[in-house]
Structure 1
């Protein structure tokens, strides 16, 4: 690989942006496909359709015919999970999410709860989301899970997650609680389409009751959003 291509690839990785390395099988020069060229209409990229499909499946593949046959190497940032709320559900969710391959972080301004002792081996940020999120850097490869049940803490993070295009945004609370949340978020200027992306009540409908069971329901829903694409969905955990 050329040094300039390697440098560009490392820049995309560091910025947590998806990209594709195309390697022609006829010995032609490799090329890195980034930014707008990853869309279905890349303006001249001959393997645009195959690249789009490979990205959707998050899987590298062979593509093209004849002289255009090439290996499409998909580079996807590793998934992260940002949990807002150092609560009992978070304590159960943290080790499970790490086992499932998520880079896990806890954010909670309540210093009595956001402690390393309660969350060993997981980064804990004892700050308000408004203060912590700019440095954290939400992106489309991050799941945002809001669990404090406190609008002052959860809702700034939820709004930021929707604006950043997080692949999953979920919030704890009953349907009545979420209805009031929707009103407040709409008053802040968030569109109905964005608000409809919030999974609330959070978690798959497993009949979960204990914090550990709710954590299982949340993790399952996050994995579904990661692997099959996000969509408005009904949860069960209140």
Structure 2
């Protein structure tokens, strides 16, 4: 997934515009065991500043040396580093491995205009791809319409021609949890560990408290208002947990009117049947109703709140990665 929290491309762009010079290095291929995934970035300034990582430290020094050389000469380069078994444990490649890295100076390799377009898209939570022909070094910025499966899987990589590299920059994943109940107290930290930005909504202030949900964005507004204000997009999951139609139903209608990739609702099959009847009466179409995952979570026999939270996060992951 793109490193939006660090926003390495934005760091490189800032160094370039400050006159320091900047190089953006990107992992484009790995074999064997590698500590950083394809698509990981390292930015290097002409002053020797570093942001991000392409190998967890094992080849950074060599990449930095190549970056300095390219700042002088211009152009772009593909670098390949193999790690022997003797070195493996020391650099984090427990089974040995090989890393291939694309190195492009900003301005003299990747254009400032292209990089600025990527950075602007990331800051606006718009998915964007940077596409490079590694033979001619021609490049372009593209959107999800050209690489839908890659965006869905958060998977940068080479196309079948073996020369076209697609660097995927997705907005961070987000999850809105409606109902600050016991299950939510387990689901929220689990989802945060899985990389989601969390938003907990419950008009009952005693439930949605900082003591129960530390370091989490909270709202005591009614869910329809809260979700509209927060904004739901194709990188957002929504989970409703209150069992209370006055709280859950408005949130469900807002979610169904958005592009959120997942909507799950707590409740038994009987409870969900009554929910569907209410939503039909409110004018929700059968196609939209079919988007609801209920009873929420994978059927793993979960009983405790923690187990139910595991099943919910597992189902969210399954839907996100295209298994359902």
Q: Normalising TM by the smaller chain, what interval? A: 0.7 to 0.9
Structure 2 equivalent of residue 60 of structure 1: 156
Structure 1 equivalent of residue 129 of structure 2: 20
Q: 1:57 Cα shift?
A: 3.1
- 1:110 counterpart = 2:219: no
Q: Which runs of 4+ in 1 moved over 6 A?
A: none
Greater strand fraction, Structure 1 or Structure 2: 2
- 1:214 counterpart = 2:308: yes
Unaligned runs of 5+ in 1: 40-47, 232-238
Q: 1:95 Cα shift?
A: 1.2
Query: How far apart, CA to CA, are the structure 1 residues paired with 2:244 and 2:124?
Result: 31
Q: 1:12 Cα shift?
A: 1.6
Q: 1:64 Cα shift?
A: 5.5
- 1:204 counterpart = 2:298: yes
Secondary structure of the residue aligned to 1:228 is coil
Structure 2 equivalent of residue 33 of structure 1: 142
Query: How far apart, CA to CA, are the structure 2 residues paired with 1:108 and 1:91?
Result: 13
Structure 1 equivalent of residue 288 of structure 2: 194
Deviates more, 1:123-132 or 1:24-33: 24-33
Q: 1:144 Cα shift?
A: 0.3
Flag the 1:171–1:99 CA change in 2: closer, same or farther, 3 A: same
Query: How far apart, CA to CA, are the structure 2 residues paired with 1:52 and 1:142?
Result: 16
Query: How far apart, CA to CA, are the structure 2 residues paired with 1:7 and 1:189?
Result: 43
Flag the 1:57–1:91 CA change in 2: closer, same or farther, 3 A: closer
Q: 1:220 Cα shift?
A: 1.1
Query: How far apart, CA to CA, are the structure 2 residues paired with 1:53 and 1:111?
Result: 41
Structure 2 equivalent of residue 82 of structure 1: 176
Q: For residues 82-231 of structure 1, what are the structure 2 equivalents within 5 Å?
A: 82-229=176-323, 231=324
Unaligned runs of 5+ in 2: 1-109
Query: How far apart, CA to CA, are the structure 1 residues paired with 2:148 and 2:308?
Result: 35
Structure 1 equivalent of residue 32 of structure 2: none
**Matched residues, number:** 215
Q: 1:109 Cα shift?
A: 0.7
Q: 1:26 Cα shift?
A: 2.8
- Structure-2-length-normalised TM-score: 0.63
Query: How far apart, CA to CA, are the structure 2 residues paired with 1:92 and 1:62?
Result: 38
Deviations 1:152-176 (A, max 9, x none): 1111111211221211100011111
Structure 1 equivalent of residue 6 of structure 2: none
Query: How far apart, CA to CA, are the structure 1 residues paired with 2:219 and 2:177?
Result: 10
Secondary structure of the residue aligned to 1:166 is coil
CA RMSD of the aligned region, Å? 1.7
- Structure-1-length-normalised TM-score: 0.84
- 1:7 counterpart = 2:116: yes
Q: 1:20 Cα shift?
A: 1.2
Contact 2:228–2:254, Cα closer than 8 Å, also in 1? no
Flag the 1:224–1:53 CA change in 2: closer, same or farther, 3 A: closer
